[in-house]
Amino acid sequence: MQLLKKVIPFDVDETLIGVGGPEEITFFNPNHGIYETTKVYQKHVDRIIKLKESGHAIIVWSMSGGEYAKNVVEAIGIEEYVDIVSDKPIEYYDDMKVGWEWMCLRKFL
């Protein structure tokens, strides 16, 4: 079992890639079977690097699937900063509702 501390998840679409910058990447979209070119939100990529260097564990996920997210991470070139790549979580189980004071806040970059 792998123990992750200080876990911070990042979404892919419109968080890491979209229309957010001058740099472009090309990656294989397994859902459509084609290569796509898109822009990179470099300030969000820089945030991942900074957080990882500060000791955080980084998860990158996408509603488009884990393979899609993996291909984007590789195209950006940040594999060494990402601990886990996965599908978007569809649910989670806990004993308290989201929004309690001890829960972390959702941040929009």
Give the pLDDT confidence of 93-106 residue by residue, as tens digits. Answer: 777 665 555 455 56
Per the CB < 8 A criterion, the answer to whether 76 and 50 are in contact is no
Q: Within 10 A of 43 (CB to CB), how many other CB atoms are there?
A: 10
Token readout for 90 is 């569809």
Tokens 């997210």, residue? 69
Per the CB < 8 A criterion, the answer to whether 23 and 40 are in contact is yes
pLDDT band at residue 9 under the 50/70/90 scheme: very high
CATH of the domain at 18: 3.40.50.1000
Task: Confirm whether 93 is domain-assigned.
Answer: no
Task: Confirm whether 45 is domain-assigned.
Answer: yes
Task: Confirm whether 35 is domain-assigned.
Answer: yes
Among 3, 17, 14, which Cα is nearest to 71's? 17
Within the chain, residue ranges assigned H as helices are 42-53, 66-76
pLDDT at site 99: 56
Mean pLDDT, residues 33-58 taken together: 96
pLDDT band at residue 108 under the 50/70/90 scheme: low
Per the CB < 8 A criterion, the answer to whether 3 and 55 are in contact is no
Per the CB < 8 A criterion, the answer to whether 70 and 64 are in contact is no
Number of domains in the chain: 1
Task: Confirm whether 54 is domain-assigned.
Answer: yes
Q: What is the pTM of this model?
A: 0.85
Mean pLDDT, residues 86-97 taken together: 79
What residue numbers bound the domain in which 59 lies? Answer: 7-87
pLDDT at site 96: 64
The overall average pLDDT reported for the chain is 88
